[in-house]
Structure 1
Amino acid sequence: MINREVLSSSLRSKKLLIKLLLSYLGTAIVAVLLITLLNTYWVKNESIKDINSITELALSNIAVLGTNMFESTQNMAFVLYNDPYVKNLLSSSEIDGLDIMGVTYDIERLKISNPSIFSVYVWNKNSIVFRTSRGIGYEESHETISEIVREGPVLYPVPRRISNNNDKPVDVYTIIYHEPGLGDDSAIVLNIDANALYNQVYTEFSKPQQDIFIVDKTGKVLLHNDIERLSTNIKNETYFRNAVAAGRSSGSFSVYDGGHNWVYNYVIAKNKKYIVFSKSEYSMLFSKVTKIRNTILLTCSVVLVLIFFLSIMLSRWLYTPINNVFSNISVLFKGSNISQPDKPENNEYKFISQAVGSLVQRLNTLEKDNESNFNIMRTAFFKSVLTEPGNINKDIFPDNILKYKILNSINGNYCIIVMRLDNYNDFLLNNNKEAIDFQLSSIGNISSETLKEISTSTYFVMDNEHLVLVISDINRDNTGYEEEITEAVEHAQDSILKLLNIGITIGISGVSSNIFDIKDKYDEAFGFTNYRFIYGKNTIFTGKTVKIKEMEKDKVNHYANAILNSIKNGSKDAYCDFIFKYYSLIRNCSYDKIVKLFFQLANSILHLPEELQTSHKGSMEFDIQDIYAKIRSFESYEDLINWFEELFDKTETILCNIRNKKNPDLVEQVLKYINENYRDSNISANIIADKLSITPQYFSKIFNEYAGVSFPDYINNVRLEKAKELILSNEKLNIGSIYEMVGYNNRSYFTSSFTKKYGISPGRFRSEIASKKISES
């Protein structure tokens, strides 16, 4: 048996070692437990949040793609309806072969950019006057098209299935369009291949274990990654009602149904018309998360143990103070006195270590400061070149260009590229200063890395909205250098969109070898980016992209007047329609001309209230420079039309207030004018309305409201009363003279009107009055 006193003595001699081992073991156990708890609760919850965030991001992208897809099909239907050849077929009773050829050519051209078009039908006066279909045997009957035109909603995608003679069905979306108020006598019917749209929307985001579908406000499924489930309605489903009732733009929740726990995520599109849902089974969704969590737990535990051992061994081997500690512990357990090693004091080692570390840190800081100062000075110099070209010292300018590495050589070929952020206001709203600086620098670095394969490039962040790239060493001997630059820039644009989710519009200037043209080339490139207002965002513009044509001045003036009249009449639909026609007419002008024309139109709209009142009090207050800047800030037609709709609402409200105050006085003036000028046979509602600078329709409306009778009836009554007075007061005047004196051009009309009002003809009325006077005498 072991002697207890020997064992006790042995344990006491090794008490320090046992404490160290127990401390290490306890620390390891606590660390593993903490990691286990962290993985069990926090990592799981964070993983669920991350999965929901990723899913919502994917759904947001699908919402954008789906909305753009539906709006694109609606625009196609609208464009086809307004095609001049289609207009001829819709309005003519006879079919012209030239119109058929023109329609065929325009549709084929449209199919090149929109390959999803499946078939097109032109419907006029209860018959199909033109049809074209991509597939053989898929032509639809007269009865089917008639039912679609008669019952289908205008500009709304309706999922349908078409079968051909071989029973090979094709799923399509049907869009119809006809002008409001014209009924269904003439319409365009457009069928879009659902499979093509499915591939556009779901290629990147759809997963086998997920159902992803787009529904409208009524719960009708418009697009589903299982194409067999199109046209189903989910308005009575719990998850649909939950999403609508929540009142949020996105969210997620669980629903237990059919013995399974389902996770639903949803995102409401920005236009509020569509909702995108994803449906996943909980166990399938988080099975990978559980596996990853367990793997992390095991790996962390093993790594933790290894790190403890390795850190102890490396510290003992590399770091003298730790080695001394272990040596003293070893001596302690051997029962010897602790001796200090023949080494310098620990404080000396610590001082040397800190001194060396501080020196290295200082050197790194100085290097970074020097680089930062150089970049600041270079950017300031480049900005001064663009903003203060008149202050350039031409003698030292070439040296500064080389000094600040703007270009690699003075005589080399270069071009300027301007990159402007799309949706700039949203970008500012969603990012703080640090995030903005990081993302702008990332855009510059990605672009420079992409372009370095074909040339040398330097980027400058001009402000929070745009960057400038200077491309040097362009080889003009290579005939395809323009295409190479455009292709590289397009690749950079795609990379920025995928990596940073930031859309940018890019302008590329022409090539120059004169260093004093830098300002002009910048203005050229920046000016190109303004055309995103016309051609769309996330586009690359060069001198070949922008095509400028002359406008038709008479039509521009016609539509401008029609826009103003639609405000006076209070017709917002007509107003928006004329704005679009006005925009379509001038969109091929230069950007500055387009801005000028829309500025003039806005200015005319804002001055409308002044036409109805002598004082400007109560009119809209506006600043001309603010309006001009506002129009120049628009990035798309949607921005423009939204602002002009706001302008309509404000102007129309002020006009109504002015009219309500002035209408009684206005009618009094008209009544006075009629009583003084009833003899004028040419007086009419149109003439008086023109004198008052209002439309005849509006004049007739306010006259009826305040006079209680229509304008023609009122002036007719005045003339008949005056004719009756003349008959009674002057027996020598014959009837033929009287009707002309009171403003009538036709005796028969005068006689019939007089008889209708008084129940007796003018001649007989005079005879009875004369007889009455004789009998009284």
Structure 2
Amino acid sequence: MFKKILWRFVFSYLIIFLIPLFIGLGAYFNVKDIMMNNLYRYNKTTLIQLEDKVENEVLKSVESLADWVNLNPYYFIFLPEAKEALDSSDRLLNIRNLCRELYSQTYKNSYILDAFIYIPSEKLIIGPSYTTTPYNYYTYINKPLDMSYEKWLEFLSGEYKMKYISSFRIKADYKNLSTIVFANTLSRWVIDGKNANVFVIIDQSKIVSTMKEIISYPKGAMWILDRDNNHILKVFAESQNIVLPKLDFSIYDSFNIKELTLKGQKWIVYYVISPLYGWKYISMVPVDSFFEDVRRVRNMSLLLLGLMSIVGSILIFFFSLQNYRPLSEIKSLLQSKSENKETKSSKNEFDVIRDLVLHTLSKEEEMKKQIMRFTPVIKNNLLYQLLVGGILPESVGEPELKTLGIEKQSGKFIVCLVEIDDCSGFIKDESDSEYALVTLVVTNVLAELLDTNNFKHWDVLFSRTKLSVIVEIKDSFEESMAKLSSLFENMIEFLEKNFKIYVSVGISGEVLGITNLKFAYEQAEKVLGLKFVKPNMKIFKFSELSQDITSEKEFLPKDIENRIINSVKEGKVEGIYEVFENIRSHITAANSPHMAKMILIYLYGLYYQLLNSIPNTVGEKQKPEPEKVLRLIINEKNPKKVLQALQEDYKNLADSVIINKQKMGNDLISNILEYIHQQYSSSEISLSTIADKFNITPQYLSAIFKEKTGQNISDYIQNLRMNRAKELLLTTDYPVSQIAKMIGYTEVSGFTKAFKKFEGVSPNKFRELNKLQ
């Protein structure tokens, strides 16, 4: 018997173990395809990242700079007629402004080392911070290492069309640099019959660093070709010289991958082609290196599967023994405590435990009585199930009646449903503990009033805002209803006056026996639902309002109500007009004038609910008075007039939502501007710190500031700082380092660079020039 049970455990664990084992085997055989797909996706992604970085940060900036120079109106100062019209000081001022604008176009881009315009008729080079001759530029600024001066002049005067020249070596700041030179002939800059050229010197080393980060294999190589397939850059992961094979680029393939053989070695070649610039980004990796990770993962998977099989077999037998041991102990324990002498030791453990459980279930009624006697929660649950029809009333026997304190099933009962409408004046938040306190107050007040008037009652808690009271009546229904009405009026007045708790009450008709409590509860629930169309009532009696209950029918479909709410909250006036067309059709289809009026009352109730729940600018004088609205609906024979007025009220509410949003935006910007003017001299001020201050996201702050002021927040702060710096430079003798700290710069070098960009001269030079004047 021991072996039979034990091997049953072993077999069960084995079945469970084999499922993930077979899944692992399937994954093992598919891992190569999965890894290959991941490798292709990864390499495509990396090349596209390189393409985006090069084109967005280099090509786009450089070619945009060329277009900007070509369209710049300052070329007029070099025309012959301009020389006659302008004196030397005006001409120098215009050239200085051109230099300043050229600097503002280049300083932000870390890839651009220099940019200048060459005017052949003037033998003049204009750069971001200089105006010089070709000889001085060649000798002192950026000396081309592979050109004589004559070749340099010839290079400056050539004709170019968006041309990139790679491996252009220069000497700048006593360092030899490898660069890429972009050259373009300016079509508009025709001066004395000769076109000017613009040149941009690009730092090749930074592009190479980016390419090396992309190469993820130790023996890989990468090339960048321009639109004419000229080699712009090439990078090798190791010290090797690999010749790029001839590739047949297809203009229809944005990404392609191929396998080829070079000098007896197999390679993987993949490339992307820029759809905008036509540049090609090519990567070549040895096959062995490319598949190294795939082989490593497959071998590791095989090793893990073998190890899992060995360890799993050991663990299966171990856990089977461990699980069998407590089973045997449970059998012995149950047998020792059981009074059933028929359980024989010859039976196996499962049979013994099953027999003992069946024996225990036979005593369910006795256990049920004990639980009911000591568990108040079950009492509430039993009453709840009786009201909602969760259990059959005939299944409630004498023990249950005794627990509930009901003498007999055939008594006369009324169900009262109390719903808490508003308790915000009594509690601070909407936690469960706060609502539990509200429920306790309402229950205690109601219980005291019912006990004082000799009503036997049973409280049933439904939710944190709804509770029901089952009341047994001894007198006639009319007398009991009059007492209950007076009692609930006193309760409502007392709760509102002393606790700021507002409730509504629905009272059912009289039912006979607990078997009909479900129908009484449904009556109370339905009649309480009329509070949305009878806003001035607080006690709803089924005996008086049963004719107003529309069984199984909504006043309005839920989608129409949702569309009204969304249109108002989003300020969409067109949506209001569209949904009211549907409401007109709905009213036309109503089966009675009474139903049409109920729909209009419901719409006005929804209007007041929206009016009190969303920010708006509707004034007290513009709000329709509820009493006048009800009289208008009841007395008006043509509902179209009421619907037209109601549509206008909703439209005004939607308009006011838009106005309120605009006002909130203007107030927010005013507060932000005031805060910036107070804190701009702090080094801690930034987009994120301002957003945190006003509890909004940086993205929303940036967008609304740009919309309201027409400029970026960083530019606004910098303008404040620079204007304050100029004031301090001219009115004080503070050193530049102190002025930098006073306006929020931690490093004087950063302040000097920003000031030079703003004014075109350094702070010391600005102070010197203005003091001389």
Give the TM-score, by structure 1 length.
0.40
Give the TM-score, by structure 2 length.
0.41
